[in-house]
Amino acid sequence: AQKITQTQPGMFVQEKEAVTLDCTYDTSDPSYGLFWYKQPSSGEMIFLIYQGSYDQQNATEGRYSLNFQKARKSANLVISASQLGDSAMYFCAMRELHSGGSNYKLTFGKGTLLTVNP
Amino acid sequence: DGGITQSPKYLFRKEGQNVTLSCEQNLNHDAMYWYRQDPGQGLRLIYYSQIVNDFQKGDIAEGYSVSREKKESFPLTVTSAQKNPTAFYLCASSIGTGSVDTQYFGPGTRLTVL
């Protein structure tokens, strides 16, 4: 079973509107971290936002917020007031702390390609 | 400016050749990683290093080798044993290896086998 699932291969949004990118995860570890990265066409992976499994509040970073629903195992990224520069691939990733010593790596989803239309 | 640099940006290799990809960081991070990205896919871990002079295999280490002689540097060698090396390679670093430790990435190297 996939540990990180991003069900939207592509999404379109109008400039200045909000968009939600979906991410569901699968883990039995009580302690884990969830990350979102942005990858523009240049290729660099840019860290956007982090949510810890024990965090009570949803994480926010500027126009980015993470809608964390622990019981549903979902960690959706919300981008408010979309800009043309937001057009990129977006990856959800998870890092588990206790799973047999594999706390070193990020497990990535396959990504969602976001296109912002003017 | 603190960050991670990777060189070269583009690399072409003939079959049967070994090539080395450079990764340098000045963030004073202890942990460093190498990931591979294929088209339409997420990243897969090749090798990681938690401290100097120590490194561990990731999920797809076959055909690759690394060294960690200095804290700042974590070069990756793609050997002739790697059957399908054409891919985008990303290096990352983090302060440590806890679940909260964010990994920061370099700009990547695109390797093409001719």
Q: By the 8 A CB rule, do A25 and A34 touch?
A: yes
Rounded to whole angstroms, the Cα distance separating B101 from A66 reads 17
User: CB of B51 within 8 A of CB of B28?
Assistant: no
C-alpha span between A33 and A31 (Å, rounded)? 7
pLDDT, tens only, A70-112? 999 999 999 999 999 999 999 999 988 765 555 567 899 999 9
Of all residues in chain B, the one with the smallest CA distance to A6 is: B42
Mutate to test the interface with B, among A45, A91, A103 (most CBs of B within 10 A): A45
Tell me which DSSP letter residue A106 carries: P
What lies within 8 Å, CB to CB, of A20 at 6+ separation is A67, A76, A77, A78, A79
B40–A110: do the CB atoms touch at under 8 Å? Answer: yes
Best residue of A64, A105, A110, A112 to probe chain B, by most B CBs closer than 10 Å: A105
Question: pLDDT by residue (tens digit) across B13-38?
Answer: 888 899 999 999 999 999 999 999 99
Q: What is the spatial distance between Cα B36 and Cα B21, in angstroms, rounded to a whole number?
A: 12
Q: Grade residue A36 by pLDDT with cuts at 50, 70 and 90.
A: very high
With a cut of 80, say whether residue B114 has pLDDT above it: yes
Instruction: List phi, psi (to 5°) of A31.
Output: -115, 120
pLDDT digits 0-9 by tens, B33-75: 999 999 878 899 999 998 899 999 999 999 999 999 999 999 9
Question: How far away is chain B from the Cα of A63, in angstroms, using its nearest Cα?
Answer: 19
Provide the b/e sequence for A47-68 (b: ≥16 CB within 10 Å).
bbbbbbbeeeeebeeeebbbbb
Minimal-distance CA residue of chain A relative to B100: A33
Closest residue to B99, CB basis, from A32, A42, A91: A32
- Average model confidence (pLDDT) across chain B: 92
pLDDT for residue A80? 96
Give Cα B17 distance to the centre of its chain. 18
What's the pLDDT tens digit per position in A50-71? Answer: 999 999 999 999 999 999 999 9
Question: Considering only CA atoms, which of B49, B54, B45 is closest in space to residue B90?
Answer: B45
CA closest to A33 among chain B residues: B99
